[in-house]
Amino acid sequence: METMASLNHSLSPANIRTLSSNISSGSVSALRLSLPISPAANRRNKLTVVRASIAVEQQVTKKVALIRIGTRGSPLALAQAYETRDKLMATHSELAEEGAIQIVIIKTTGDKILSQPLADIGGKGLFTKEIDEALLNGDIDIAVHSMKDVPTYLPDKTILPCNLPREDVRDAYISLGAASLAELPAGSIVGTASLRRKSQILHRYPSLNVLENFRGNVQTRLKKLNDGVVQATLLALAGLKRLNMTEHVTSILSMDDMLPAVAQGAIGIACRSNDDKMANYLASLNHEETRLAVACERAFLEKLDGSCRTPIAGYASRDEDGNCIFRGLVASPDGTRVIETSRQGPYAFEDMILMGKDAGKELLLKAGPGFFDC
């Protein structure tokens, strides 16, 4: 009777709930019940405990992600993270298992401060700093970035071995009332958070006004447009395509009307420099043509070492003969001065790096002292 009473007490509803909770959470220690039962029953219980322990450990192992992808939380950033995840799953069978890849959302300084223009709060690294820190701290295994947000320098102990195939690099014009920038009435307000776009708009259409602190994700900016805050806006066509929102596009600007930002439309994926496993995963996704073009453009940007207030644009592409064509420009923020250059050469890493640097050096000389100061 004593034994049965003790057993009934140990397996009371409250204790059973506690046991179930602990097992679900992966704790095996809750299985060590002190029950005054016979030796034979005790042996059976020990076997049960061992089996339960194995089952719980297997359950926990299954939940551990093989790759944790760090990303910003905007719809576009998440679309890029999911694109990365899908490519990894399609390329590596072990990553196709449920739970093998985890998306980790990280809020960056650029996401937190929306009340000021990007140039006023630092410009470079605003959308990557916290993600890089999470990577170095081991909270994530790889980091997915829009390459145009990545500073020309990478944090120590990190590498960026992968660029996914580049999307359309052009800018999209969006308006509810005019078919193009040229058709906007004088005094119309165009919203943009980009000094590059502002300077090129004002250079060609000085009668327009530009609302510089037109920030927020794509959905937020389109809402502001619909609410009449501005009469038009420009957005990267690549982002609209990745979000399946191209129905909002009024027209697409040509390269002559709007040279894109360095690395626009390209996704870059970083990992720790000592993590060979992740580096190998990423190498399998790398699109070499994109990587070389981005490297050329970033060499141009690095040579200029422009401040957060310097409008800079650059684009490298492969022509029909397989050569690299590079175009670059710098401008004054008000658009009164725009300086352009171009290069052509072999579509090969070393040659393209030299082209980018040489183009940057030329524009530095043409611009003169003080042009790139904040």
Per-domain boundaries in the chain: 63-164+265-286, 171-252, 287-373
The CA–CA distances, whole Å, from 13 to 9, 17, 20 equal: 9, 6, 10
**323-331, strands of its sheet edge to edge:** 312-318, 323-331, 338-346
Q: Of the candidates 162, 149, 225, 130, which has an alpha carbon nearest to the alpha carbon of residue 194?
A: 149
pLDDT at 38: 52
Please give the share of the chain, as a percent, with pLDDT higher than 90.
70
Q: Is it the case that residue 124 has pLDDT exceeding 70?
A: no
For 85-118, the DSSP string reads: HHHHHHH-GGGGSTTSEEEEE---HHHH--SS-G
**3.30.160.40, 3.40.605.10, 3.40.50.10540, 3.90.800.10: which CATH number matches 287-373?**
3.30.160.40
pLDDT of residue 111: 58
Element (H, E) at 357: helix 349-367
Return all residues near 259 (Cβ < 8 A) that are at least 6 apart.
196, 200, 313, 314, 315, 327, 328, 329, 340
Residue 114, pLDDT score = 54
Q: In this structure, are residues 188 and 208 in contact, taking their beta carbons and an 8 Å threshold?
A: yes
Q: Which residue has tokens 């320098």?
A: 153
Q: How many residues does the chain have?
A: 374
Q: What is the CATH architecture assignment of 63-164+265-286? A: 3-Layer(aba) Sandwich (3.40)
Distance from C-alpha of 372 to C-alpha of 36, rounded to nearest angstrom: 82
* Per annotation, catalytic residue among 149, 171, 257, 275: 149
pLDDT of 26-64, one tens digit each? Answer: 333 333 333 344 555 555 554 444 444 444 444 444 568
Rounded to the nearest integer, the mean pLDDT of the chain is: 84
pLDDT of residue 215: 77
Mark whether 319 is an active-site residue.
no
Same fold, 63-164+265-286 and 287-373: no
> pLDDT higher for 196 or 41?
196
pLDDT band at 117 (very low <50, low <70, confident <90, very high): low
18 pLDDT band, cuts 50/70/90, is very low
- Tens-place pLDDT, residues 250-271: 999 999 999 999 999 999 999 9
Return the CATH architecture of domain 171-252: 3-Layer(aba) Sandwich (3.40)
* Rounded Cα distance, 300 and 354, in Å: 9
